Amino acid sequence: MITIIPAIDVIDGKCVRLTKGNYDTKKIYNDDPLEVAREFEKAGIKRLHLVDLDGAKQQHIVNSATLDRVARGTNLQIDFGGGLKSDEDLQIAFSCGAQQITAGSIAVKNKSMVIQWLDKYGGDKIILGADVNNEKIAVSGWQEKTEIDLFEFLKEYIRYGIRTIICTDIAKDGMLTGPSFDLYKKIKDQFPELEIIASGGISQIDDVNKLNEMEIDGVIIGKAIYENKISLEEIKPFLC
């Protein structure tokens, strides 16, 4: 059964969403991310994807206080990403209650550091964030594109102990047009050992059903919940 993982993206301590990673498209959904997280937990959700968008932009952890409040105020298993660029950032994230962290831009810009993190904490604590545009990796909150091939990127990190990836197709993110089914199938076919968490474009419960049929391990849902395209009631069958 696919794991439902709602997303809370944070700017200035508030719950927001962007479209295609563009900060100019910021829309505030709630001033208090803890209130949102508690609603998720009340519905039976166990996991949360918490992203520090200020951190992603400023290249260091910014919203640690929000992480700490959500971790203390719920029993959700939190994976935290955005702005994790140093050992100190990682220690702050874990000390503030993150059970896992997502290494995104840092996995491109400072591979040796992420390898050290994998050696120290293991693949159950470090998730690889693979944000893609036309199967090329993008970094820095999607502000920078690279020519790094997604599949070569994954192959290399699997060698270093990565077990779980969050793969976001930037072209789909926040568009409510459906996820990149073909891309996820391609990843699953090539790397059956990977735990794949799909992200971006989820627009209706049928998208979740299809990903579940494809045996994708997890799905991050953001705007579809906030815009009432998918209700918490609809996802309850996946929460058993």
Q: If you average pLDDT over residues 117-139, what whole number do you get?
A: 94
Percent of the chain with pLDDT over 70: 96
| Average pLDDT, integer, range 107-133 | 96
Give the span between the Cα atoms of 165 and 47, in whole angstroms: 15
What is the extent of the structural domain holding 27? 3-239
Q: How many domains does the chain have?
A: 1
Catalytic one among 52, 54, 79, 131? 131
**Range of weakest confidence among 129-133, 164-168, 173-177:** 173-177
Q: What are the pLDDT digits (tens) for 44-78? A: 999 999 999 999 889 899 999 999 999 999 999 99
For the ranges 13-27, 76-90, 94-108, 209-223, which has the lowest average pLDDT?
A: 13-27
67, 49 contact by CB (below 8 A)? no
CATH number at residue 153: 3.20.20.70
pLDDT for residue 158 is more than 60: yes
Q: Does 22 have pLDDT greater than 90?
A: no
For the question of residue 131 being annotated catalytic, the response is yes
> What confidence score (pLDDT) does residue 46 get?
98
Distance CA 56, CA 7 (A): 15
Mean pLDDT of 102-117: 95
What pLDDT is recorded for position 143? 61
* Angstrom distances, CA of residue 110 to CA of 84, 184, 191: 11, 26, 23
| Backbone conformation region of residue 75, classed left if phi is above 0, alpha if psi is from -120 to 50, else beta | alpha
pLDDT at residue number 177: 77
Catalytic (active site) residue 87 = no
Q: Which residues contact 21 (CB under 8 A, 6 or more apart)?
A: 131, 138, 141, 142, 143, 170, 173
pLDDT confidence of residue 145: 78
pLDDT at 43 over 60: yes
What is the reported pTM? 0.94
Residue 161: closest CA among 121, 129, 110:
121
Range from 106-110, 176-180, 188-192, 226-230 carrying the lowest mean pLDDT: 176-180
At residue 196, what are phi and psi to the nearest 5 degrees? -105, 125
